[in-house]
Amino acid sequence: MQKDFHYYATYCAAYIAGFSHDECLEIAYSAQFVDVCSRTLLKKINAPLQAATTQLQMELMDSRVDIFALHDITRIWTSFHFLPADLYAKKKWRTKVYLNRYRLICGPNGDLLVDTVDLAKGKTTQAIGIAMHVLADTWAHMYFAGTPSLVINNTNFDFFEIIKDEEGFKERKINFKHNVSMKDNIDSAVYVNCIYSNKEISVMNLGHGRAGHIPDYSFIKYRYMPAWNDFKLMIKDNPTDYFKAFAQMVYALKYIRGEYETFEKNTYDFKAIEKYSERIKEILEKRQPDASEDWKKLGEELSGQEIEDFDIEKYQSSYRTVPADMKEKSFIGKFVTAALAHKKMVTSRIIESNNTIAGFRL
């Protein structure tokens, strides 16, 4: 998912769930900050590097591919962008080394999602924002794993967009290019992806890199052949999934606010968004690479307040200048605390499941 959903749609969901305008802005800012909080940024502001929630292109390119670097990459990407759906998933005749990767496949409504939302309850708006980022990404990044793995994340030429037309649906072949300076061309179905690498743990095989940005676009419905799915085709319907993600965010945010006693899996607050559902579906289905303007407009209509654009620098100077003993209380300080707690929780669960890809206990 991108800024349009993580920032503006999260703002809308938080407002519908009953948070104030200022709280919504903080939640949305934190949700989007997950996508930019790299070690490079943390280093710049002198914050703890372990709190990184993403890795920049250059950081990934220069990372080693030894066991410790693999742990580091997996901790970041599974915790914040590819939350595993089932850490104890079974598959006949698979080796342990294969299952370790298979069990990290991201998906919605897993036990870890419940733990994520529970962890954010009663915490700061930063913690809530992080949880919303993670929740939303379980829908967008479904079927990919947050660890470099060819046997899980590879895709092949069999990749088609399913487009609505007068007669129902038609399929259009998706072509991939590896030129990173190029932009995705939605009209001619040409998308940028990571180049094929036959090395199992190459960073080219991390997450949905082989499928390019396609999983991040709300409008697209596509079918493809995932490397792990027993040679069966898979259909991914982003507009439907993103709609569910939005309804689940509203439900989760209401739970965090105390409207519900427990957070249940497979539960969505469709009722709360009924009034706006046509509008939301329209935004989600509109063929555009970035829906920020439409979400922003909806958010401003909902709250009657202006939603400022996401500014990466917004809280950095205050964190740098605040005295050391007060850093934890600053906006980024609270984000760092929440990010560390979340990463620790997810990593511990993975290690407890006897999976050594994210680390091991001696």
Partner 1 sequence: MTFFQRFRIILYGLVQLAMGIIMFAIPEDGTRLALLMVGLYLILTGYKNIWYYLVMARFMVDGRMALIQGVIMIDFGYLASSITDVPRIYILLYLMIMHAFAGLVEILRALEEKRFGEKHWKLKFSHGIANLVIVILCVVFIQNNTFVVMIFAAGLVYSAILRVISGLRKSSFGYIH
Tell me which residues touch partner 1 (CB under 8 A): 1-2, 35, 56-57, 60-66, 81, 94-95, 97-98, 101, 150-151, 154, 156, 176-182, 192-195, 198-200, 202-204, 206-209, 212-213, 216, 225-228, 230-231
Q: Closest by alpha carbon to 213, among 177, 252, 184?
A: 184
Report the alpha-carbon distance of residue 46 to residue 37 in Å, rounded.
12
State the minimum distance, in angstroms, from the CB of residue 171 to partner 1.
Answer: 19
Minimum distance from CB of 206 to partner 1 (Å)?
A: 7
Among the listed residues 159, 188, 193, the one whose alpha carbon sits nearest the alpha carbon of residue 176:
193
**Residue 145 bridge partners (DSSP):** 105
64 versus 275: smaller Cβ distance to partner 1: 64
Closer residue to partner 1, CB minimum distance, 65 or 235: 65
* Nearest approach, Cβ of residue 252 and partner 1 (Å): 21
Helix and strand numbers, DSSP H then E, in the chain: 15, 6
- The minimum distance between CB 177 and partner 1, in angstroms, equals 5
Closer residue to partner 1, CB minimum distance, 228 or 242: 228
- Residue 161 pairs in a beta bridge with 172, 222
In the complex, minimum distance from the CB of residue 64 to partner 1, in angstroms, rounded to a whole number: 5
Which one, 177 or 244, has the nearer CB to partner 1?
177
Distance of CA 117 to the CA centre of its chain: 14
Residue given tokens 């179905």 in the structure block: 189
Q: Pick the closer one to partner 1 by CB: 153 or 303.
A: 153
Q: Are 195 and 57 in contact, with CB atoms under 8 Å apart?
A: no
Least CB distance to partner 1 at residue 198 (A) = 7
* Residue position matching structure tokens 């994340």: 153
Closer to partner 1 by Cβ: residue 14 or 204: 204
Cα 265 from chain centroid?
Answer: 18
Largest CA distance in the chain: 65
